[in-house]
Amino acid sequence: MSGKVFLVGAGPGDPELLTVKAVRVLQSADVVLHDALVSDGVLALVSPQAEVIHIGKRAGKKLLTQEEINAVLVHYAQTAQTVVRLKGGDPLIFGRAGEEMDALREAGVDFEVVPGISASMAAAAAAGVSLTDRRHASQVMFITAHREPGKKSFEWPAIPPHTTLAVYMPGSDYGDVGESLIAAGIEASTPCVIVASASQPSQQIRWSELRRLVDEETLPAPALMIVGKVARSAETLRDAGVWSEIERYGERVGKVF
């Protein structure tokens, strides 16, 4: 028996943000292998007849190595018709899907990727910022602050101007991230916003600047940091006078903003 593996993006946690296809696959699955970041609301959509297996990371400890996960995927594809590898966010952005797809290809297993809403998109939506606001950014760079064991410094790529940074897994030391980005050439006054548990009831949003990150209290994981001129709060925009012309226009046409 040779089944099919679906690498499904579970999105940021709100089950209403799943794609229609993701819901259909979850409801027809025979086996679901999920990460720790997949919410209970999403798991509630899995078929009651499916075997649900948690293979994520808890308290920094992995239940399985990546090589073991690859082997488990291949094993279940040989014994079940529909196998779902359920990942938080989107499988193709910091989800290690590349390694799993390579393992499935090598084993001759059929697979399909079902995209999900990535953490950066969910965080931007929650904060009400446009990652590619043409007035401030011409590109977005996805980076991670997660470091391999033993590494004490970040190895940032060259960061061109007019770039919005989406920093995945900023960790518990925001100051370290801020200082390293400043050292990489980004202005210390650059605004940023940290969003924790985007789209979920426990969602929190913190507005700051790179130079102030050293004094910021760490928000609960999962969190994502958006850095760049686009990451300015409504209060900051109002203080900068950005709203004045909009308000004057509203007065002229009799609208309230």
CA torsion sign for 71, 30, 15, 197 is negative
How many helices and strands in the chain, by DSSP H and E? 8, 12
Coil/strand/helix, residue 96: coil
Q: What torsion do the CA atoms of 57, 63, 64, 66 make, to the nearest 10 degrees? A: 10
Residues 6+ apart with CB under 8 A from 98: 92
Helices (H), the chain: 20-28, 40-43, 66-77, 97-107, 119-127, 174-183, 234-239, 242-253
> Which among 133, 138, 208, 132 is positioned nearest to 177, based on CA atoms?
208
Please state, in angstroms and rounded to a whole number, the distance separating the CA atoms of residues 156 and 195. Answer: 21
Containing 53, the helix (H) or strand (E) segment is strand 51-54
Exposed, middle or buried: residue 201 (CB in 10 Å: 0-12, 13-18, 19+)? Answer: exposed
Is 57 an active-site residue? yes
**Catalytic-role residue among 4, 40, 57, 90:** 57
**Catalytic-role residue among 4, 14, 30, 35:** 35
> Which among 69, 71, 73, 92 is positioned nearest to 82, based on CA atoms?
73
Is 215 an active-site residue? no
Positions marked catalytic: 35, 57
